[in-house]
């Protein structure tokens, strides 16, 4: 039996071999079991991902989001969630944030809503410009006065462990964290998220 091996052959020469002193690179493609093996990082033209024109338009608007004009406007919203029921409510988009660019074709969008019932909805959407890749949508609801007994017991246990009750801002930090995009979102909501020290 012969041993199978994949090799990338690359030879680089430089020097005065003619009118140009530039380095010349020779590459070889090795055929293993009828398949061509290319140098790592070099995709064949047919394997390149196709981009969605609609998603490219969204990326080109960054950091502006399509619903930015809705900030502060009370209206009906539907927040999409993967693997769970979507959230439909009447309320206000308090703030949204997106990065200024998406160099690898992927970016995140963060949003915080307040419902007319006094709850807060946190939304995180991860978008991609590639047509075959699906965007992912996560969302969570913070209810300051949970109605179910188990939820109230859990909230009470958390509140006892902390020196103060859990607020919607605490829940936002638990959902988004403190990455640069989250901090940009918090800045749009004033200094409520800053840690003040004496």
Cα 152 to Cα 28, 124, 129, 159, distances in angstroms:
67, 26, 42, 10
Distance CA 128, CA 21 (A): 42
Distance CA 5, CA 78 (A): 54
pLDDT value for 82: 97
Q: Are residues 20 and 81 in the same domain?
A: no
pLDDT value for 193: 66
Is position 134 within any domain? yes
pLDDT tens sequence across 85-100: 999 999 999 999 999 9
Q: Are residues 33 and 112 in the same domain?
A: no
pLDDT tens sequence across 118-137: 999 999 999 999 999 999 99
Q: Are residues 86 and 170 in the same domain?
A: yes
The DSSP code sequence of 19-41 is S--S-EEEEE-EEETTEEE--TT
Q: Are residues 15 and 83 in the same domain?
A: no
Domain extent, residue 34, equals: 9-38
- Mean pLDDT check: name the lowest of 13-17, 64-68, 187-191: 13-17
pLDDT higher at 144 or 22: 144
Q: Are residues 106 and 186 in the same domain?
A: yes
Four-residue CA torsion sign, 156, 157, 163, 165: negative
How many domains does the structure of the chain reveal?
2
pLDDT higher at 155 or 53: 53
Q: Are residues 16 and 112 in the same domain?
A: no
Is position 94 within any domain? yes
Q: Is residue 67 scored above 90 in pLDDT?
A: yes
pLDDT tens sequence across 177-197: 999 999 999 999 976 666 656
The average pLDDT across 100-109 equals 93
Q: Are residues 102 and 163 in the same domain?
A: yes
Cα 13 to Cα 23, 44, 60, 157, distances in angstroms:
6, 26, 42, 70
List CB contacts of 142: < 8 A, sequence separation 6 or more: 119, 120, 121, 122, 168, 171, 172
User: pTM to 2 decimals?
Assistant: 0.67
E strands along the chain, which residues?
9-13, 24-28, 30-32, 35-37, 74-79, 87-97, 106-115, 120-128, 136-142
């Amino acid at each position: 039996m012969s041993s199978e091996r994949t090799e990338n052959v690359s030879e680089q020469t430089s020097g005065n071999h003619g009118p140009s002193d530039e380095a010349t690179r020779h590459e070889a493609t090795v055929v293993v079991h009828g398949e061509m093996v290319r140098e790592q990082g070099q995709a064949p033209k047919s394997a390149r991902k196709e981009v969605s024109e609609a998603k490219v338009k969204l990326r080109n608007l960054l950091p502006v989001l399509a619903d930015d004009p809705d900030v502060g406007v009370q209206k009906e919203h539907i927040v999409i969630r993967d693997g769970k029921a979507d959230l439909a409510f009447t309320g206000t988009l308090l703030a949204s944030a997106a990065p200024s660019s998406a160099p690898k074709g992927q970016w995140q969008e963060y949003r915080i809503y307040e419902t007319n019932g006094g709850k807060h909805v946190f939304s995180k959407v991860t978008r991609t410009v590639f047509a075959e890749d699906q965007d992912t949508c996560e969302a969570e609801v913070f209810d300051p006065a949970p109605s179910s007994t188990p939820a109230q017991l859990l909230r009470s246990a958390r509140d006892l462990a902390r020196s103060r009750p859990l607020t919607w801002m605490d829940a936002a930090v638990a959902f988004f964290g403190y990455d640069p995009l989250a901090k940009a979102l918090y800045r749009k909501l004033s200094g409520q998220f800053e840690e003040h020290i004496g």
